[in-house]
Every structure is written in structure tokens, then in C-alpha cells.
């Protein structure tokens, strides 16, 4: 069961400090968010609420959810007049057009990313990612939307070449079409095309944000996310177990920077362009496990089982973020060690494993 965000006040205040100018562009507008109940969505909603409470700047946030009543019960701080919740699936959102009304901005974050891509059912991912992206961007085109931020994934690049230290937005590789375990990857590529196609047809701006890996509060710690599972083991004083050989290279961004970047891209990103979202500070899974063990004061040793990895991202999964840095002047403010410390502190404060 999720918990209130009262232990995130310092993080949320940091978002306001970093993204104030971009957040202020929302003044007097209506913003529609899909996927508001997931990891990315919750951070966005709490950040928007904190900005509103601090500044008294008025805007309206419409949140699409399959079960808004349950979500608000589990997140009581988000039961606020700033938010208007609409009960709908993303695929059927056009049926709720009268309830939603017109809106100025769209953040489309609905996805199947909370499930291991290996286990995703093709029909489910087609419904949510492909049909959902078409439906919401068609709705945007008929509802007065000016700008859309389409949340995509670094999975669209396919496996990162072993000799490529960081992957750039102009890399034209892709997932293997003969690999049955890459349904999520292919549908996210198609979703990017759909978003751009609908925006061009209806003459509104669309910016694509390709998300990589993260570590922070609200990230599941009982799922396929290695960083989350490592945090879980550390705070329960259990040995961190790595099923593979620990050699895969990843990088992790903290949600304070994630939200700051997404708001910056919504406000100032170039229409029709894609931006990588993440950190360029690479680390092996073994090193990440050791960092988490040491920073949590866990006395248990890291256990590396040495089995072959089935991770679809391959040996390396690290973005080149120079485009966002140079064009939008975005940067990461939270180091990996600080991100680990903040995440562990939050879990120990709330005392509940999400």
C-alpha cells in the first residue's frame, strides 16, 4: 500500500527551486496527465501540488485513472482541488472527452513499464501503449492542446552496442524484430511515431522523452528493477543477491531531476524532437550493490550468483544526455550516492515497502 509523501518535502521543494520558471508556464492552464498513478506520475503530481501550495499559482491538473477513488485513498495529499480525476482506461479516453473538456498541455505517461518486458502480454501492451497513445493524442488534437510530452523509453534503441559508451538520440538501431521478448520495445517505437503523426495532423507541438533507469522513492522494490530490489535487501538487512555476473552497466537518475527534466521538456523542448532522460554516470550492477550495502550500513555481503543474464537492455544501458544539457540547459543535481541515501532514508521513514 502506498503512503503519503510527507517525507519527500525537501525533494519536492528542490523540484520547485530547479524548475520554477518552467512550472510557471502552467499558470492559468489545464494539464492532462495519463499514467498519474505510476512511479513517474506520482512524482509529477506531488511536485505540481507542492509548487501550487508554495506559490499559489493557479492551474488545473486532470488525471486519467482506472480507479481514481482507490488512488486518492492511498495518497490522501492528492485529494486536492488542484486535481480533477477522471475514471477511464487510456484506450477508451475519447469516450470521456465531455468530462475532460479542453486542455492546454498533455503529459502522456501511461505505459506497461511496471511489468518486466519479458513477461508482457503482446495484446495488453498493444492496447495500452499503441492504442492508448493513438487515443490520447487524437483527443489532444480535438481538445485544443498546445503541447504534448510523450513519455517513451530508451528501450526504443534496442541493445546498446558494446563499444558505445553512451547512446545518443540519433542512433538508428532498434530491437530485434525476430525476438519475441521485445514487444514493449517495438510498441514504444510505434507509439513515438503515432504521437508525432497525430501532432502534425492536428497542428500541436509534441516532445518525446526517452526514459532510462531511476532510483528513488515509489520505485517498486519487489519487481524486476534491480536497483529497487537491492534497496529492499539492504533495508531488510538481507544479502543483496545478483542473479547474473554483476557486469551489466547502468546509470540512475533521481526523481527530483526526472521531474525537473520532464517539466523542462514540456515547457521548452523542441517540437518533433526526442531527448534522453537519465544519468550519464555509469556503474556496474556489482558496484551499485556494493554502494547500496555500504551506504545502508548493511553488514551482509553481496552475493553474485554468476548466472547468464536475460536482461533485454544488454550489457550497457547508459544514455548520452548532452542534447538535454546543451539545448535545454538541464543537468542532474543529485549524485548516485546521494540518491541512494535519500531513497534508503525515505523507506526507513515510511516503514512500508511499496
What residues contact 195, with CB distance under 8 A and at least 6 apart?
108, 133, 137, 148, 150, 206, 208
> Facing residues of 167 across strands?
319
> Facing residues of 274 across strands?
208
**Rounded Cα distance, 84 and 127, in Å:** 24
Torsion of CA 284, 332, 273, 219, to 10 degrees: 60
* Residue 294 neighbours by CB distance under 10 Å: 13
Q: Please identify which residue in the block is written with the cell numbers 523507506.
A: 347
**Rounded Cα distance, 209 and 271, in Å:** 11
| 354 residues of the chain, pLDDT tens digit each | 345 678 899 999 999 999 999 999 999 999 999 999 899 999 999 999 999 999 999 999 999 999 999 999 999 999 999 999 999 988 889 899 999 999 999 999 987 544 555 556 777 778 888 999 999 999 999 999 999 999 999 999 999 998 999 999 999 999 999 988 888 899 999 999 999 999 999 999 999 999 999 999 999 888 878 999 999 999 999 999 998 899 999 999 999 999 999 999 999 999 999 999 999 999 999 999 999 999 999 888 899 988 655 544 468 999 999 999 999 999 999 999 999 999 999 999 987 544
**pLDDT score, position 118:** 56
**pLDDT score, position 1:** 36
> Facing residues of 205 across strands?
147
Sorted by where each starts, the structural domains of the chain and their CATH numbers stand as 6-215+252-280+318-333 (3.40.50.720)
* Residue 200 neighbours by CB distance under 10 Å: 13
**pLDDT score, position 6:** 80
DSSP 287: H
**pLDDT score, position 161:** 92
Torsion of CA 110, 111, 115, 121, to 10 degrees: 130
**Rounded Cα distance, 101 and 99, in Å:** 6
> Facing residues of 108 across strands?
34, 150
Amino acid at each position: 500500500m502506498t503512503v503519503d509523501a510527507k517525507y519527500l518535502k525537501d525533494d519536492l521543494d528542490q523540484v520547485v527551486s530547479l524548475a520554477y520558471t518552467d512550472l510557471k508556464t502552467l499558470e492559468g492552464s489545464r494539464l492532462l496527465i495519463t499514467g498519474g498513478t505510476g512511479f513517474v506520475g506520482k512524482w509529477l503530481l506531488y511536485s505540481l501540488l507542492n509548487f501550487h501550495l508554495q506559490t499559489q499559482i493557479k492551474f488545473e491538473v486532470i488525471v486519467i485513472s482506472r480507479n481514481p477513488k482507490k488512488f486518492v485513498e492511498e495518497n490522501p495529499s492528492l485529494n486536492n482541488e488542484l486535481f480533477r480525476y477522471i475514471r477511464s482506461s487510456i484506450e477508451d479516453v475519447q469516450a470521456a472527452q465531455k468530462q475532460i473538456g479542453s486542455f492546454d498541455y498533455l503529459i502522456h505517461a501511461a505505459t506497461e513499464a511496471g511489468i518486466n518486458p519479458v513477461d508482457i502480454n503482446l495484446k495488453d501492451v498493444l492496447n495500452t501503449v499503441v492504442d492508448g497513445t493513438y487515443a490520447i493524442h487524437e483527443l489532444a488534437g480535438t481538445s485544443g492542446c498546445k503541447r504534448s510530452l510523450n513519455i517513451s523509453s530508451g528501450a526504443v534503441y534496442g541493445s546498446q552496442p558494446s563499444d558505445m559508451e553512451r547512446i545518443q538520440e540519433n542512433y538508428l538501431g532498434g530491437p530485434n524484430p525476430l525476438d519475441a521478448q521485445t514487444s514493449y520495445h517495438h510498441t514504444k517505437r510505434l507509439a513515438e511515431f503515432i504521437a508525432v503523426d497525430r501532432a502534425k495532423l492536428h497542428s500541436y507541438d509534441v516532445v518525446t522523452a526517452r526514459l532510462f533507469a531511476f532510483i528513488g522513492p515509489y520505485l517498486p522494490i519487489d519487481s524486476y528493477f534491480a536497483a529497487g530490489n537491492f534497496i529492499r535487501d539492504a533495508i531488510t538487512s538481507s544479502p543483496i543477491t545478483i542473479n547474473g555476473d554483476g557486469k551489466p552497466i547502468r546509470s540512475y537518475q533521481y526523481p527530483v531531476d526526472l521531474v525537473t527534466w520532464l517539466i523542462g521538456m514540456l515547457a521548452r523542448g523542441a517540437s518533433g524532437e526526442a531527448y534522453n532522460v537519465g544519468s550519464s554516470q555509469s556503474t556496474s550492477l556489482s558496484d551499485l550493490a556494493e554502494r547500496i550495502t555500504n551506504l545502508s550500513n548493511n553488514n551482509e555481503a553481496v552475493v553474485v550468483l554468476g548466472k547468464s543474464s536475460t536482461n533485454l537492455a544488454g550489457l550497457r544501458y547508459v544514455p548520452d544526455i548532452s542534447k538535454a544539457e546543451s539545448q535545454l540547459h538541464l543537468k542532474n543535481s543529485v549524485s548516485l550516492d546521494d540518491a541512494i541515501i535519500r531513497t534508503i532514508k525515505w523507506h526507513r521513514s515510511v516503514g512500508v515497502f511499496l
